[in-house]
Amino acid sequence: MAISTPTVAELCRSAKDASRVLARLDAATKDAALLAIASALVERTPEILEANRRDLEAGRESGLSDALMDRLALDERRVAAMAEGARQIAALPDPVGEVIDGMRLPNGLDVRRVRVPLGVVAVVYEARPNVTIDAAALALKSGNAIVLRGSSSARHSNAVVADVAREAAEDAGLPAGALTLVAGGGREELAELATQDGLVDLIIPRGGEGLKAALSAVATVPVIYAASGNCHVYVDASADLDAALDIVVNAKTQRPGVCNAAETLLVHADVAADFLPRAAAALRERDVVLHGDERVRAHVDAVAATDEDWAAEYLSLDLAVGVVDSLDDAVAHIRRWGSGHTEAIVTRDLAASRRFVRSLDSAAVMVNASTRFTDGSQFGFGAEIGISTQKLHARGPMGLTELTSSTWVVTGDGHVRG
């Protein structure tokens, strides 16, 4: 007898039913589920790595870029980090039921605004199987059901990781349908997921501009875009150049295939002659290819930069480099070419740092720190479900509170309105 595969609508309907149970669950049950997921990940690491090996092999055969291969790859350390992220989220306060604010009106009514889950959150993501656990743990802790749709490049990894998490969560008392992986299918399936009005309450895409465009063209449910990161580091005239060198190298090379890696370096003209040769040498030791403007190329060898370079999210060991005459010129460059993700300034001038922060409109601005710190785990969220570059509801790394809404609870004593 053939076994039919549930449709996207059926999976979302099951998630909606589960979300109503999750919204009422106590924190202890949710925390126990996350701890069970963490333990199951560790116990079944060999199974997870075998599935990941199949994806990596297929990725090499299909010519995936080094950056995507790095995003795709799992090892014992990364699986252990996934488990630790789930434990950290379990240890955080439960946001559901938190009283955000409240008051007693002159007529005696008590008014409170209370955090509640969003309902069903769908996450669409590319290549990174660790997102399966990060997203699931945050959603479940905040009382939401989650529908996951990974990319075909991580098909085997996502299937095993999601099964491990789902089985552990249900054994710990979470309802069936609380964690669902939508597997297979193409853009038609994506469009179906993005149009589940009344069943899906929010979609969060984690991927490049192509995924963003595909969703924005069809989505009828709310979307928060965890979009691309064209991140900048600006080395000011007053910068400590030793600190600047460390920050630039870290921001570019610590993990180049992620959205908070630096893609553009801007250097004040007053320090360019001193700083650029040092930076170029350190970056080339780490195989970084420089794409520089004419003023940069007067100091160091570099590929001639084009408009495509200034706009690029390379996700590779490439770095666009420019020389600017002032902080205002650096800000103007970032405003024109940036994606609103993360910008950094290296400076010893407090007034300059304040002007830089106030002049930019990005999700995160770093002062004397690497762009790589824009990260949910670094911010103390345990993990993140994405880094929003939008302005409504959530911005920057999205943790537990960003996966909640609120309800006004008004308590009276037979009150009627006159």
Total count of domains within the chain: 2
Provide the pLDDT for residue 227.
Answer: 66
Euclidean distance between CA atoms 54 and 38, whole angstroms: 23
286 and 160 housed in the same domain: no
Residue 309 lies in a domain: yes
215 and 255 housed in the same domain: no
Task: Return the closest-CA partner of residue 127 out of 61, 194, 55.
Answer: 55
Provide the pLDDT for residue 363.
Answer: 93
Give me the domain span that covers residue 264.
Answer: 231-373
188 and 274 housed in the same domain: no
- Assess contact for 309 and 291: CB atoms under 8 A: yes
The last residue of a domain, from among 197, 227, 257:
227
Residue 405 lies in a domain: no
330 and 354 housed in the same domain: yes
Provide the pLDDT for residue 134.
Answer: 93
The last residue of a domain, from among 227, 243, 267:
227
Provide the pLDDT for residue 1.
Answer: 44
157 and 248 housed in the same domain: no
Provide the pLDDT for residue 184.
Answer: 61
Strand pairing category for 364-367 and 342-346: parallel
Provide the pLDDT for residue 226.
Answer: 76
Provide the pLDDT for residue 188.
Answer: 81
Euclidean distance between CA atoms 235 and 392, whole angstroms: 31
Cα-Cα end-to-end distance for the chain: 66
Check which CATH number belongs to the domain holding 130 and give it.
Answer: 3.40.605.10
Check which CATH number belongs to the domain holding 329 and give it.
Answer: 3.40.309.10
For 206-260, the pLDDT digits (tens) are: 877 778 888 888 999 999 987 679 999 999 999 999 999 999 999 999 999 889 9
The last residue of a domain, from among 208, 227, 246:
227
Taking the CB of residue 187, how many other CB atoms lie within 10 A of it?
11
134 and 222 housed in the same domain: yes
Taking the CB of residue 113, how many other CB atoms lie within 10 A of it?
15
Residue 31 lies in a domain: yes
Q: How many residues does the chain have?
A: 418
pLDDT under 70: residue ranges of the chain: 1-4, 184-185, 227
Residue 391 lies in a domain: no
Task: Return the closest-CA partner of residue 143 out of 16, 22, 12.
Answer: 22
Q: What are phi and psi of 43, to 5 degrees?
A: -65, -35
Task: Return the closest-CA partner of residue 386 out of 142, 93, 135, 216.
Answer: 135
Euclidean distance between CA atoms 297 and 304, whole angstroms: 8
Provide the pLDDT for residue 303.
Answer: 97
Provide the pLDDT for residue 156.
Answer: 95
The predicted model scores a pTM of 0.86
Euclidean distance between CA atoms 149 and 151, whole angstroms: 7
Q: Which own/partner contact pairs does 367-370 have at CB distance under 8 Å and 24+ positions apart?
A: 368/240, 368/243, 368/247, 369/247, 369/344, 370/247, 370/250, 370/251, 370/254, 370/262, 370/344
Report which secondary-structure segment, H or E, holds 405.
strand 404-411
